[in-house]
């Protein structure tokens, strides 16, 4: 990986997160049949905390710096804690496509909050791509929700999940300036698990009666869509803006359609497939760069523990030769 450019490593990390989060929508529906929303969230977070804790020990990661704790705490409470409980509850009221649709209001909120609170730019390509992707998400949601399986309560819960998700991402971004992606994820996950401890009794009760497949889905949710995907997300978020990272998640509805087809037997129609294509096209537009910005360099946040590379200084007597233009 050392020969791969940082931007490509960040893009690969974001892709891992998107694929695993899309699988989470399907696994939540499967495990949610045997586990109550709070119990499922706690079980998922406990599995994620154990996996992340073991990784922190192997890498000898200590506590995050003091400056990172506000962001870690807020993202842990809102994104790891409240988000997972209300998303589990919401997915019991609506189908996977509708859940992905409503939750994907989040990227729009991330872009707005990032511009307002973090001073991030909102380039036209990002806004255009998000508009295309959101249209695709609406198409997917409407086409997969025509059987009347959605409820007002379910939509409201998914909307609350979108709000807590967006606030959690924006809170997490500054913390990545002083702590590593693994530290921010591990202690955010631990914070969410502590918040969900009141559901411990329900978790023990449900685990006693749950089929093995549902328990394995819960463990999968903790190890992969939580421990792994949230870490790769934080890695990528430290190297780009919150708005661009949020736009990347618009690929999730398209992947949910595919996974719901493969694992839940929800055969997509032509309208659903068209919406998925729009989602992916919008992501491509939002992550593309204009020609005028091709030669610019964007300062990246250096994660904790990564040394800064010294920049070569020109000799004071060297002639000033204009640099060649970027192709």
For residue 295, is it within any domain?
Answer: no
Q: How confident is the model at residue 310 (pLDDT cuts 50, 70, 90)?
A: very low
209, 33 Cβ separation under 8 angstroms: no
What is the residue range of 280's domain?
8-287
> Distance between alpha carbon 125 and the CA centroid of its chain, in Å?
21
Looking at residues 25-43, what average pLDDT do you find?
Answer: 89
CA distance 153 to 142: 17
Q: Poorest-confidence range of 36-50, 198-212, 262-276? A: 262-276
CB 128 within 8 A of CB 285: yes
Give the DSSP H or E segment for 168: helix 152-175
Q: Where are the alpha helices (DSSP H) in 222-269?
A: 229-237, 242-248, 252-264
3-state secondary structure 190-234: HHHHHHCHHHHHHHHHHHHHCCHHHHHHHHHHHHHHHHHHHHHHH
Domain count, the chain: 1
What are the residues whose beta carbons fall under 8 Å from the beta carbon of 103, sequence distance 6 or more? Answer: 87, 158, 161, 162, 165
The model's pTM:
0.79
Using alpha carbons, select from 68, 71, 143 the residue that is nearest to residue 100.
143
Region 182-207: what's the mean pLDDT? 97
Two tokens, residue 322: 């204009």
Indicate the range of 65-69, 150-154, 254-258, 320-324 predicted with least confidence: 320-324
Both structure tokens of 171: 């809170």
pLDDT of residue 221: 96
**Per-residue buried b or exposed e for 126-154, using 16+ beta carbons within 10 Å of the residue's own CB:** bbebbebbbebbbbbbebbbeeeebeeeb
Instruction: Establish if 305 belongs to a structural domain.
Output: no
pLDDT(101) > 80: no
* Mean pLDDT of the 203-217 span: 95
- Identify the band that residue 298 occupies on the pLDDT scale cut at 50, 70 and 90: very low
Above 80 in pLDDT, residue 294?
A: no
Q: Is residue 167 part of a domain?
A: yes
pLDDT class of 147 with cuts at 50, 70, 90 = low
Tokens of 112: 């707005």
- 38 assigned to some structural domain: yes
Work out the pLDDT band at 295, boundaries 50, 70, 90: very low
Residue 314 lies in a domain: no
In a domain, 12, yes or no: yes
CB 229 within 8 A of CB 22: no
Residue 97 confidence (pLDDT) above 50? yes
The whole-angstrom separation of Cα 156 and Cα 153 is 5
What stretch of H or E contains 54? Answer: helix 37-59
**And the tokens for 81?**
């804690």
What 3-state class would DSSP assign to 140? helix
Please report whether residue 294 resides in a domain.
Answer: no
How high is the mean pLDDT of the chain?
A: 83
CB 221 within 8 A of CB 85: no
Is 319 contained in some domain? no
Phi, psi dihedrals of residue 303, rounded to the nearest 5°: -65, 155
Encoded tokens for 208: 């006693």
- The per-residue pLDDT for range 157-169, each reduced to its tens digit, is 988 999 999 999 9
pLDDT value, residue 299: 40
pLDDT band at 123 (very low <50, low <70, confident <90, very high): confident
Q: Using one digit for the tens of pLDDT, what is the confidence trace for 217-276? A: 999 999 999 999 999 999 999 999 999 898 888 888 788 778 878 876 777 778 778 888
How high is the pLDDT of residue 316?
Answer: 43
pLDDT in tens, 11-22: 899 999 999 988
The predicted pLDDT at position 296 comes to: 42
Looking at residue 325, its pLDDT comes to 38
């Amino acid at each position: 990986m050392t020969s791969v450019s940082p931007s490509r490593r960040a893009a690969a990390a974001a892709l891992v997160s998107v694929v695993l989060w899309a699988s989470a929508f399907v696994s939540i529906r499967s495990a949610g049949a045997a586990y109550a929303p709070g119990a499922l969230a706690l079980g998922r977070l406990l599995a994620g905390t154990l996996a992340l804790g073991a990784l922190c020990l192997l890498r000898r990661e200590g506590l995050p710096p003091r400056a990172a704790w506000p962001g870690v705490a807020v993202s842990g409470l809102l994104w790891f804690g409240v988000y997972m409980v209300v998303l589990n509850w919401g997915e019991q009221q609506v189908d996977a496509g509708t859940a992905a649709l409503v939750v994907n209001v989040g990227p729009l909120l991330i872009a707005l909050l990032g511009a307002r609170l973090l001073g991030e730019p909102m380039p036209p390509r990002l806004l255009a791509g998000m508009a295309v992707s959101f249209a695709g998400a609406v198409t997917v949601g409407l086409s997969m929700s025509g059987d009347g399986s959605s409820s007002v309560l379910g939509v409201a819960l998914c909307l609350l999940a979108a709000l807590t998700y967006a606030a959690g991402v924006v809170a997490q971004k500054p913390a990545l300036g002083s702590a590593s992606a693994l530290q921010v994820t591990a202690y955010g996950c631990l914070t969410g698990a502590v918040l969900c401890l009141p559901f411990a009794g329900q978790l023990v009760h449900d685990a006693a009666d749950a089929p093995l497949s549902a328990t394995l889905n819960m463990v999968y949710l903790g190890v992969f869509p939580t421990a792994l995907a949230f870490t790769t997300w934080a890695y990528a978020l430290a190297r780009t803006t919150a708005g661009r990272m949020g736009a990347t998640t618009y690929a999730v509805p398209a992947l949910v359609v595919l996974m719901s087809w493969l694992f839940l037997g929800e055969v997509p129609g032509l309208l659903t497939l068209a919406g998925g294509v729009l989602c992916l096209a919008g992501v491509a537009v939002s992550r593309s760069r204009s020609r005028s910005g091709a030669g610019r360099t964007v300062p990246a946040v250096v994660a904790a523990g990564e040394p800064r590379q010294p920049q070569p200084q020109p000799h004071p007597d060297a002639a000033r030769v204009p640099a060649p233009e970027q192709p």
